[in-house]
Amino acid sequence: MMSTAARARNLGTLILPGLLLASCGSFSLNARRSSERQPQAADPLDSGREIGLTLLRSTAISAVRQPVTTTKVGFALAYQRIRTMFRSNVSLADFADPPPPEVPGTPEFERLLDRKHLRRAEPGKATFRVDGPAFFADFRREIAQARKTIDVQVFIFDNDDTAIACADALKARSHDARVRVLFDDVGTTFAQAAPPETPGPRGFSPPGNIHDYLKDGSKVRVRRILDPWLVSDHTKLMVFDAKRAYLGGMNLGREYESEWHDLMVRIEGPIAVPLQLEFTRAWRKAGPVGDLALFRKPAWYRPTQPGTGPAFRILRTDPSEGTYDVLKAIRLAINASRKRIWIENPYFAADDIADELIAAARRGVDVRVILPSRGDSTIMDAGNAATAREVMAAGVKVYRYPRMTHMKVMIADGWATFGSANLDTLSLRINRELNLSTNDPATVKALENAVFTPDFRHSSRMLKSDTDSMIAPFAESIADQL
């Protein structure tokens, strides 16, 4: 007979479409509960109209402009949803592959990633910007100092006071530098309809449409990323003069500057060139000719030169290209680890990752996971608790950070990855994501010092009783699909 948990999972899958948008990060109902914050959101009539236009663009317009992408994403989405529905009822922790001889952090492990057809690592330098004040100070300084080009891609370009201050800075520079802004249509539209958790300045009135606000009185070029089948581009990438880049978890909005614990990484050196090309490809695909733009090569290209020292590998999730590099690299690193696996992530619902962590803990690896004590989605909080309960039974140590942590970081022995990808189905199999990985000892140590050492100190160890919930099986079924 089918277990109660299995029946709950299948029921959750049936009602998933109605909950999907309401459960995505930054679309939380928590902020909507306060009538005092409602003036900080766009007018309901404006929001309703924008949401309707977004759904139109995600269906009819994307099918016309991006027919190849829409078809490929549709097939990938159907396969991944069906796969996840059946996979959520089966634990494969007992059938994990034996660890390979290549240890994360070694040249041998990098060659293993090469053999698995992941993109080659390229030289560069990374420095970490923890929390909003550190990153947004850098971001505003980069806007002011850029000489020729400013390229900004985010999942959410909000319309609160923080986002408008960023928009004003971009607009001011657009008269003497090329400024391009690219944001996800679904992510931005739904975020603008929800007020932030903390009240903004008295008298502040948000514009109803950030696209029009950015263009008004400026030379900023703005494009929306269309979302066929409501599949989003979750990437956060800013590139200045094709020489300096930032990537990580932060969008442009107040929660990222002052409410959440988050990370952006400053990237310099030759690796900035392929990151610039990542932006350029997304920009062209979001243009009026859509998929056809990808048949033309970029107007410029500077091939990177071989070098020594730190190197970084671009990892993508992109169902339209059949690319699942983030999942592939993380699973390989977990499976190959010998000493430690440290993770901090807001959404912990991927069964593949949970099974690999269970297998690692059983063979004596120090496995630790930091989750938010209260996230931005009630469903995902319950899903996190259900996954935590499962892995804790195998010896994984799970911690609760005292507030919302939006970090997406992992260290496995001497290898690290960081970027935009959550440990959930959306990030690992459906949405478009961007991570970097590295085996540079200094960078891995810097990540340990900047994130894990202080966050373990500030977090509390979860107990089995902390995971008790009557709705856990039902919530897990929904979280598995998210």
Q: Domains of the chain (ranges plus CATH)?
A: 4-481 (3.30.870.10)
State pLDDT tens for residues 354-396.
999 999 999 999 999 999 998 877 778 888 998 999 999 999 9
Model pLDDT, residue 427: 95
Model pLDDT, residue 34: 37
Model pLDDT, residue 277: 96
Model pLDDT, residue 140: 98
Model pLDDT, residue 21: 41
Residues of the chain with pLDDT under 50: 1-38
pTM over 0.85: yes
Model pLDDT, residue 25: 45
Model pLDDT, residue 28: 42
Model pLDDT, residue 477: 56
SS3 assignment for the chain: CCCHHHHHHHHHHHHHHHHHHHHCCCCCCCHHHCHHHHHHCCCHHHHHHHHHHHHHHHHHHHHHHCHHHHHHHHHHHHHHHHHHHHHCCCCCHHHCCCCCCCCCCCHHHHHHHHHCCCCCCEECEEEEEECHHHHHHHHHHHHHHCCCEEEEEECCECCCHHHHHHHHHHHHHCCCCEEEEEEEHHHHHHHHCCCCCCCCCCCCCCCCCHHHHHHCCCCCEEEEECCHHHCCECCCEEEECCCEEEEECCCECHHHHHHCECEEEEEECCCHHHHHHHHHHHHHHCCCCHHHHHHCCCCCCCCCCCCCCCEEEEEEEEHHHCEEHHHHHHHHHHHHCCCEEEEECCCECCHHHHHHHHHHHHCCCEEEEEEECCCCCHHHHHHHHHHHHHHHCCCCEEEEECCCECCCEEEECCEEEEECCCECHHHHHHCEEEEEEECCHHHHHHHHHHHHHHHHHHCEECCHHHHCCCCHHHHHHHHHHC
Model pLDDT, residue 196: 75
